[in-house]
Chains A and B, each alone.
Chain A
């Protein structure tokens, strides 16, 4: 029991400790509105979560140009979550409106 409590405390410390090299995963939001992504370029770290929130009145997708991820259709008012697995520059677009483009920079 005491051991479990100690472990929990250690975990809490690990999650918030700034002296540790690896930062805790963060959550970022990309807003989809008026047929565009905001921000158009988002920089995140591996393990972070990105949420695409569709505030537009039309359905859109967030689809990697090279097939790394695909939200499929995100309806108006809905959102889609993706945990970014690896480093790299990932360009994405809307398969419904290919003029909509943005990128995810993971480093």
Chain B
């Protein structure tokens, strides 16, 4: 285990000039766990929005989050299985799960316009954070070429989601 860590750090060290400090301590198994956790969190919030949102556009957005993030997770799990990588829990994935649970608990207590507003505000923030994490930590940190390619492939979808969430948020006030 210690040996493995050292190797990971060594690889990260080679990339260090192009990679921010945060990426150096992460391995592919941890990245896989972060990806699966982050997607699941948004699938769960989307499920709630599809059921509870009062605005039709917000409900539709929730449904899209359910299907798209389920799709990303399927691809991530398929790839992890193919590469024989067992997703490994880590501080980042735990923090994502905790934030997701907290968000769900808060949304459960809300209804009507207050629910819509809180849900979409979290979606805007969540997608921005995921894009930042992809750019600064996950893509530069991934060592396996196929994992890196998958992360690059899904990035434009997250950007599209962010734009849609922002538009939905702006139209809520009108």
* Interface residues in chain A, defined as those with a beta carbon under 8 Å from any beta carbon in chain B: 33-36, 56-59, 76, 96-100
Contacts and interface: CB of A to CB of B under 8 A. Distances in A.
Contacts of A33: 153
A100 B160 contact: yes
B153 A34 contact: yes
Contacts of B35: none
The 10 residue pairs across chains A and B that have the minimum distance between CB atoms: A35-B156, A57-B75, A97-B160, A99-B160, A35-B157, A34-B153, A58-B71, A57-B71, A58-B68, A34-B156
Interface string B13-41: 00000000000000000000000000000
A76 B163 contact: no
B153 A97 contact: no
B153 A59 contact: no
A57 B72 contact: yes
B156 A36 contact: yes
B74 interface: yes
Contacts of A36: 156
Given A56-B153, A57-B153, A58-B72, A35 B160 contact: yes
B67 interface: yes
B154 interface: yes
Looking at chain B's contact residues, is the secondary structure mostly helix, strand, loop, or mixed?
helix
Given A34-B152, A34-B153, A57 B74 contact: yes
11 contacts: A33-B153, A34-B156, A36-B156, A56-B153, A57-B72, A57-B153, A97-B164, A98-B160, A98-B164, A99-B159, A99-B164
B159 A59 contact: no
B160 A76 contact: no
Contact of A58 (B157, B159, B163): B157
A34 B160 CA distance: 11
A36 B153 CA distance: 10
Nearest to B69: A58
Given A34-B154, A57-B71, A58-B68, 9 more contacts: A34-B153, A36-B156, A57-B72, A57-B154, A96-B64, A97-B161, A98-B160, A99-B160, A99-B163
